[in-house]
Amino acid sequence: MPDPGRPVTTHDLLRMKAQHHPIVMLTCYDALFARLLDGAGVDALLVGDSVNQVLAGAESTLSATLDQMIYHTRMVRRGAQRAMVVCDLPFLTYQVSREDAIRNAGRAMAETGCHAVKLEGGVPIAPTVRALVDVGIPVMGHIGLTPQSVHALGGYRVQGRDDVTAQRLKNDAKALEEAGAFAVVLELVPAPLAGEITASLTIPTIGIGAGPSCDGQVLVLHDMLGLNDRFSAKFVKQYASLADAVREAVAAFSREVREGRYPDAAHAFER
């Protein structure tokens, strides 16, 4: 396990895979939650472009901007002391050219203090991963269901169910490892296939909807806490029902204000 007295590094994640210590990662978008998650012992915080849906109310991640990701990653970095902070690179910030990728990833690292960036894609994007790694930017990969390619994939569907696409995902994972990625997210991949990919790599896999054989797991924080109660998926386990708690608290506050019971003497100042 990583030393609790210092920040988690890419080398720690590699050791955790080798020693069979599961990696815990959650999405995070602000300093308050970063502090809470960091204090709870989470190993890595992913500032996902899912912020565009979860907090900004967009239909997909596609309209997320680099400025948006930098803003949220900077906040998360302020709240995290131990956990590794990974910034998602949004759509079209790394696909156009390797020069663009280096410039945008470098800006994200410099302006936020994050420890790594994450980008989507396999074999086609591997040269870009290599270019980033070669200039000293740690890269986490992401294959399977890649939300930035949701329209090309025909929607939010499990990937790799047939032999052709399963082999493609295996090739993608190996290409990312060879390009220098320090970890790879597997999203919506059949559990047996995710197990095969995990066993074939020396770098850790972090699953989301990819079964128990991955080296770690990640969920969207607001889904896991039951805050985003309009979203449900087979792979999401809710560990709390905070949407209900919020509604109940606000209803109680509203009732006391309207009845003149808040603020009372205990919550007011004397001369």
Is the model's pLDDT at 91 over the cut of 90? yes
Poorest-pLDDT segment among 67-71, 72-76, 227-231: 227-231
What ranges do the domains of the chain cover? Answer: 10-240, 241-271
pLDDT tens digits along 128-157: 999 999 999 999 999 999 989 887 777 889
User: CA dist 73 to 31, 102, 115, Å?
Assistant: 9, 18, 10
Determine what percent of the chain is predicted with pLDDT higher than 70: 100
Residue 152: per-residue pLDDT: 78
Name residue 15's amino acid. R
- Cα–Cα distance between 205 and 23 in angstroms, integer? 9
Residue 154: per-residue pLDDT: 78
Instruction: Tell me phi and psi for residue 215, to 5 degrees.
Output: -75, -15
Q: For residue 127, name the pLDDT band (cuts at 50, 70, 90).
A: very high
Task: Describe the crossing of helices 66-79 and 31-39 by its angle, rounded to 10 degrees.
Answer: 40
> What topology is assigned to 10-240 in CATH?
TIM Barrel (3.20.20)
Catalytic sites, residue numbers: 187
